[in-house]
Amino acid sequence: MVVSAARRLLNELRAQIVQGATSPPDPALLSPLAIRERLGAHLQQESSPSIRGAVNATGIILHTGLGRAVLSEKAVEAICEVSKGYCSLAIDIETGRRGHRDAHLEGLLCALTGAEAATIVNNNAAATMLILNTLAKGKEVIVSRGQLIEIGGSFRMPEVMQASGALLREVGTTNKTHLSDYASAINENTAALMRVHQSNYRIIGFAEEPPLEELVGLARKHNLPLIDDLGSGALVDLREFGLAPEPLVQHSIKAGVEVACFSGDKLIGGPQAGIIVGRAPTIEKIRKNPLARALRVDKLTIAAMEATLRLFLNRERLAQDHPTYRMLCLTPKELHRRAGRVARRLRAAASAAADIQVLDDFSQAGSGSLPTQMIPTRILAVKPKALSSEGLAKALRHNSPPIFTRIHNDAVCLDFRTIRPEEDRLVQEALLRLLKGGTAND
């Protein structure tokens, strides 16, 4: 390892010398001591885990790049419990025989959504593909043109449908699709109607689409299933928290959809997963699809998801016990208090090194959830004088743990909505050290 790292480092140094051939290199950077120190840093980096805990100061609550939802304490405890030894993942304690891993979640999901049955796979794209492959392989699925979404990672509904083996039949226009458009498209090769939540965008103004209940009625008239891809998925009415509403899973089930799917790591706030709920015969067909085994989740996901779902049984404590809803509910007044406290300490110790202000701004839910909702917040805006804002942001990312920020108006902005209270001092100390000319890990 040492020899390999030394060779790579020397090659890097030679390349730097060649690239800067017009000016002689600094001899101090090429001394045996300097090379040894850099080699030590290389080896330290290579022997450290590449995925690490981080501080999210971006203000995006469900940040895809930073792992989306922060798990609750109960979910973390559940993961630790089942990971430190054997567990009852797929065995019936009563009979001692093989059981089904869905048993740990199905009762909870049915109680929370009103569905007859439920299953879980590794993400919502997988859930969509599995449903389509089970119910519509080789046949047409009718979808509104305005719902042919693309979200992060180039996830495109037409391509997912193609991968599932189903045939896309798009109807209507980008902004308007009528019930009659669906009705006119139904033929002998139609396998299902499908509604897709637009997730990370909205069409407003001169726009129209039929209510879910009318789509259910049309599907039933032609003895076809209605598939409802709910995207982020919501188990509580977000208007209770002063936010824009998202489609409720309970509403879809009550309206009579055959099957619905949604993400487990967005508004549910659990681990990455795709949840499928609906009528029992259809869920059983989905379970028997060979793809279901390829897409199934492990014991850690099931343990964390069970603990997360149980939080929704006590609605009065949801904003206290569930990290996602706790962040959504933080008031600008509380955020101002925390940001102001850090600002005062930084000004007292490093006022000559940066302009430091607490400003009004907006947070976002992220990951396609509540795309038009701007949530009032307070940010700490740090405009360094001795280095660029990009340089300070990069140095913060190299901190241990990394601190991720955003840059606006040439200032490094830190949103205390997504910084956990126990991280305030860590952020303060990192900023103070860097503004005084230290390195990220001094």
Please indicate, yes or no, whether residues 244 and 289 belong to a single structural domain of this protein.
yes
Please indicate, yes or no, whether residues 210 and 309 belong to a single structural domain of this protein.
yes
**pLDDT score for 91:** 92
Please indicate, yes or no, whether residues 125 and 231 belong to a single structural domain of this protein.
yes
Let me know if residue 440 belongs to a domain.
no
114-157 residue pLDDT tens: 999 999 999 999 999 999 999 999 999 999 998 887 766 566 88
Let me know if residue 365 belongs to a domain.
yes
Please indicate, yes or no, whether residues 308 and 364 belong to a single structural domain of this protein.
no
369-390 residue pLDDT tens: 887 789 999 999 999 998 899 9
Let me know if residue 243 belongs to a domain.
yes
Please indicate, yes or no, whether residues 158 and 273 belong to a single structural domain of this protein.
yes
Read off the CATH number of the domain in which 373 is found: 3.90.1150.180
Read off the CATH number of the domain in which 132 is found: 3.40.640.10
Please indicate, yes or no, whether residues 187 and 299 belong to a single structural domain of this protein.
yes
pTM over 0.75: yes
Please indicate, yes or no, whether residues 32 and 123 belong to a single structural domain of this protein.
no
Region 312-321: what's the mean pLDDT? Answer: 94
**pLDDT score for 151:** 66
- Regarding predicted confidence, which is higher, 14 or 279? 279
Range of the domain at 310: 73-318
24-74 residue pLDDT tens: 677 777 888 988 998 998 888 888 888 899 999 999 999 999 999 999 999
Please indicate, yes or no, whether residues 335 and 297 belong to a single structural domain of this protein.
no
Let me know if residue 442 belongs to a domain.
no
Let me know if residue 111 belongs to a domain.
yes
Q: How confident is the model at residue 21 (pLDDT cuts 50, 70, 90)?
A: low
166-208 residue pLDDT tens: 999 999 988 899 999 999 999 999 999 999 987 666 777 777 8
Let me know if residue 323 belongs to a domain.
no
Please indicate, yes or no, whether residues 89 and 60 belong to a single structural domain of this protein.
no
**pLDDT score for 389:** 94
- Residue 173 buriedness (CB in 10 A; 0-12 / 13-18 / 19+): middle
335-363 residue pLDDT tens: 999 999 999 999 999 989 999 999 999 99
Please indicate, yes or no, whether residues 238 and 146 belong to a single structural domain of this protein.
yes
Please indicate, yes or no, whether residues 281 and 303 belong to a single structural domain of this protein.
yes
Please indicate, yes or no, whether residues 239 and 359 belong to a single structural domain of this protein.
no
Domain count, the chain: 3
Let me know if residue 307 belongs to a domain.
yes
